Amino acid sequence: MMYVLRRIGFFLLTLWAAVTLNFLLPRMMPGSPTDAAIAKLAQNGPVTDATRKAIEAQLGVPDGNIFEQYLGYLHQVITLDFGVSYTFYPQSVSEMVWQAFPYTVILVGFVTIIAFVLGTLIGVLTAWKRNTWLDALPTLTGSFASTFPYFWTALLLLFFLGYVLHLFPTSGAFGPTATPALTWDFFTDVLYHAALPALTILITSLGGWIIGMRNAMINTLGDDYVTFAEANGLKGRTVAIRYAARNAILPNLTGFGLALGGVVGGSVLVEQVFGYPGIGYLLFNAVIGQDYPLMQALFLMITVSVLIANFLVDIMYGVLDPRTRR
């Protein structure tokens, strides 16, 4: 119980820190959205003070001292009202974020779980068959694939499977004729469009799980209780799965929450390549269009989601490992 309370405390504290960081970040940076907008205008000719005022009013530049701004910002966060998007005017920022959110959560969530399960299983195998080709092949291809830049894997898959072989659609989350509805046809269409982005993330993230599980497993295989189990004449598979792998999976699980942050980052690049209308693609567009309100809201959304995922993994860890509950 103490453990859960501590995790909740840490979660709330990090949540506050992330929200505050998101507030401070634009204020610590040189220049302001107004300056950026004026710099753009200034290329076409001199900018008057009146224009500047007009831009400030239009961008909703916050006034008052920093504490008043902070309170106003917290109010915005709690009510989930982040104002109006610059680039997708007149749509509100929250609306844009909620439209994109499910696509990324489903894409990243599913693929990460698949990669974790698959990678852990392969990792157990490689550690058990150490120094045979069953070890060398997955370890080497896995570590090679994990060095592929996300956007490169994405570009290659898109080029060969999309443009050359025409096996998969080349952009979007559903076909032009499909209408978003809770029907089987729409569901399969979404899956079909998500296949290439998902494959990209899977290829790039699988290797890390294999290596992590392999190293953890090799460590437990050296422990005395494993030798003892073997000496007792237990079957090889029983020792591998029920003795070694069960204990080795815990350190690998700690990595889950942290790896998620990396995958979410990678999905920004993947979504950009595939034009997949998730959070990452929206973030990219917000950055290109210097849409600061949208950018701020998206970054907050991404950070909070990863924080929640980490929190859930922590709680799960507590359930699985009695030692943490002391």
Partner 1 sequence: MTTTQNLTSATEAAIKPPRRFAFITRSAATLWANWKSRLGLIILACFILVAIFAPLLAPYGASQDGFERNADASPEHWFGTTAAGEDVLSQLIYGSQISVAVGFIAGLLSTIVAMVIGLSWGYIRGFGADVINFIVNLFLVIPGLPLMIVIAAYLQNGGLVMIVAVIVITGWAWGARVLRAQTQTLRSRDFVTAARFSGEPAWRIVFKEILPNMTSIIAGGFFGAATSAILAEAGLEFLGLGDSSIVSWGTILYWAQNSNALLTGQWILLFAPGLCIALLALSLTLINFGVDAISNPRLREGKSR
Nearer to partner 1, 87 or 186 (CB): 87
Region for residue 45 given its phi and psi (left: phi exceeds 0; alpha: psi -120 to 50; beta: otherwise)? left
Nearer to partner 1, 154 or 190 (CB): 154
Find, among 235, 158, 164, the residue nearest to 198 by Cα. Answer: 158
Q: Which one among 72, 251, 261, 275 touches partner 1, defined by CB under 8 A?
A: 261
* In the complex, least distance from residue 53 CB atom to partner 1, rounded to whole angstroms: 22
Measured from the Cβ of residue 1, the count of other Cβ atoms closer than 10 Å reads: 7
Interaction of residue 159 with partner 1, rule CB under 8 A: yes
Residues 290-319, interacting with partner 1 (CB under 8 A): 290, 295-296, 298-299, 302-303, 306-307, 310
**166-182: burial string, b at 16+ Cβ within 10 Å, e else:** eebbeeebbeeebeeee
Reduced to 3 states (helix: H, G, I; strand: E, B; else coil), residue 92 is: strand
**260-294: burial string, b at 16+ Cβ within 10 Å, e else:** bbbbbebbbbbbbbbebbbbbbbbbbbeeeebbbb
Measured from the Cβ of residue 132, the count of other Cβ atoms closer than 10 Å reads: 10
Nearer to partner 1, 84 or 298 (CB): 298
* In the complex, least distance from residue 2 CB atom to partner 1, rounded to whole angstroms: 16
**Which range of residues in 85-93, 149-157, 180-188, 195-203 is near partner 1 by CB under 8 A?**
149-157
Reduced to 3 states (helix: H, G, I; strand: E, B; else coil), residue 187 is: helix
Contact 193, 169 (CB under 8 A): yes
* In the complex, least distance from residue 303 CB atom to partner 1, rounded to whole angstroms: 5
Residues 15-44, interacting with partner 1 (CB under 8 A): 17-18, 21, 25-26, 29-31, 36
Going from the C-alpha of 102 to that of each of 75, 87, 280, the distances in angstroms are 25, 21, 12
Please give the Cα distance from 27 to 39 (Å, whole number).
Answer: 18
Nearer to partner 1, 10 or 110 (CB): 10
Nearer to partner 1, 15 or 186 (CB): 15
Residues 57-116, interacting with partner 1 (CB under 8 A): none
Binding residues for partner 1 (CB under 8 A)? 10, 13-14, 17-18, 21, 25-26, 29-31, 36, 128-132, 135, 143-144, 146-153, 155-156, 158-160, 163-164, 215, 218-219, 221-222, 236, 257-258, 261-262, 264-266, 268-269, 272-273, 280, 283-284, 287-288, 290, 295-296, 298-299, 302-303, 306-307, 310
